[in-house]
Structure 1
Amino acid sequence: MQKLLFILNESPYGTEKTFNGLRHAVNLLEEHGKEVEVKVFCFSDAVLAGLSGQNPNDGPNVQQTLEVLAGLGAEVKLCTSCTKARGITQLPLVKGVSLGTLDDVSDWTLWADKVINF
């Protein structure tokens, strides 16, 4: 089983990097679910992807993509320090998303066979 850690850093709607990272992870699980295990850690403005209630007028819906990803068994965490810095720690999160720490992402890095950054 291939263990993959995705690290996301970009705003979910400022660029397409976060969305592309998430859809890549979804595709891997949908096409190779028995061969891969996926974890996603969001730093910086990527933590905004984990907020519930997203309703973009155009383009991809990152919340829906995260819900699919979590439904496929991926573990998703947002950097707690990054959410505190942005004043969003107390806001509701997408189902399947939780807060994490630097210790979590460090453990996941050692767990992973590959680390993919977006």
Structure 2
Amino acid sequence: MARISIFLNQSPFTFDSHLRAMEFIQKASEEHDILRVFFYQDAILAGLSNQQPIQGQPSIVELWQALAQEVNFPLQACIANSLRRGLFDKTEAARYNSMANLADGFALTGLGEMAEAVAESDQLVQFSEHAQTTHTSASSNNDDATADLLIHITTSPTLDLEPLELGMACAAFEQKVAFVFSGEGKRWLQKDLPALRPGGKSASKLISALAMYDCDQVFYLEDGDKEHPDNAQPLATQDLKALQKNSRHQLVF
């Protein structure tokens, strides 16, 4: 019996990734243990209590509540991502003088829960608009793995740099984390890229801070680049495949 954690990071109102995750859980739970579903970035919107779907259709929150009760697993929404998007439980609502709108059955949790998922899970399964990502490492022993978590960033920098925050948190909880930047994701490495949010940090400063967490596996995928970032190491395509094979888990942003 495998221990499985589910990771979602996209809005339930834009893609069908949440519905596909539910179908997967329904089948996988017959033979395996579902440890948790972790909602990150816009996926936390699944926990809004005041959803009003078209008449006759169940809301996404009701579907998650019913499945979690049936299979018996926790629904965990990243607290930082939730507060940024206006999602509050009773405790946070009182703290920020707001209204509680987190649905029953959901809990606001820190990234320590995600680090625990990386450490405890045999499989960390991500659902996105493109595909279901189920990563199985070639290393049966955790100590033999090149990385506990490989974070592959393929898209332009986000406003709050949340993929970096996730990796840094897992590294802070003593998980071996590797980063690969490819395609538009290599823009994260530009040293002249300003902070996208007023008063926020730039991506390059956060990447430089990774060394504080013993996170020295920072790569960019080579594809004929004219410029070579000095805050990441070059990685050939075949070496990326080897890194993926020898990482316990992988998330793609």
Residue 67 of structure 2 aligns with which residue?
Answer: 69
2:124 to 93, 96, 115: 115
The alignment partner of 1:108 has SS state of helix
Cα distance change on mapping 1:23 and 1:10 into 2, 3 Å: same
Cα distance change on mapping 1:24 and 1:60 into 2, 3 Å: farther
Residue 22 of structure 2 aligns with which residue?
Answer: 22
8 A contact 2:87–2:102 mirrored in 1: no
8 A contact 2:117–2:124 mirrored in 1: no
Cα distance change on mapping 1:100 and 1:62 into 2, 3 Å: same
Offset, 1:96: 1.7
Q: List gaps (5 residues or longer) in structure 2.
A: 94-99, 128-253
The alignment partner of 2:20 has SS state of helix
CA RMSD for the aligned pairs? 1.8
CA offset digits 1:7-33 (Å, max 9, x no partner): 00010111111222133213333xx0x
CA distance in 1, matches of 2:64, 2:40: 15
CA distance in 2, matches of 1:103, 1:52: 24
The one-letter amino acid paired with 1:65 is L
CA offset digits 1:76-102 (Å, max 9, x no partner): 100001011112224332322101111
Residue 36 of structure 1 aligns with which residue?
Answer: 32
Structure possessing the higher radius of gyration over alpha carbons: 2
TM-score (norm 1): 0.85
Q: List gaps (5 residues or longer) in structure 1.
A: none
8 A contact 1:66–1:94 mirrored in 2: no
Query: Which structure is richer in relative contact order (CA contacts within 8 A, separation 6 or more)?
Result: 1
CA distance in 1, matches of 2:54, 2:81: 26
More helix by share: 1
The one-letter amino acid paired with 2:16 is E
Residue 85 of structure 1 aligns with which residue?
Answer: 84
How much identity, in percent, do the aligned residues show? 25
The alignment partner of 1:116 has SS state of strand
The alignment partner of 1:117 has SS state of strand
CA distance in 1, matches of 2:17, 2:81: 18
The alignment partner of 2:107 has SS state of strand
How many aligned positions are there?
Answer: 114
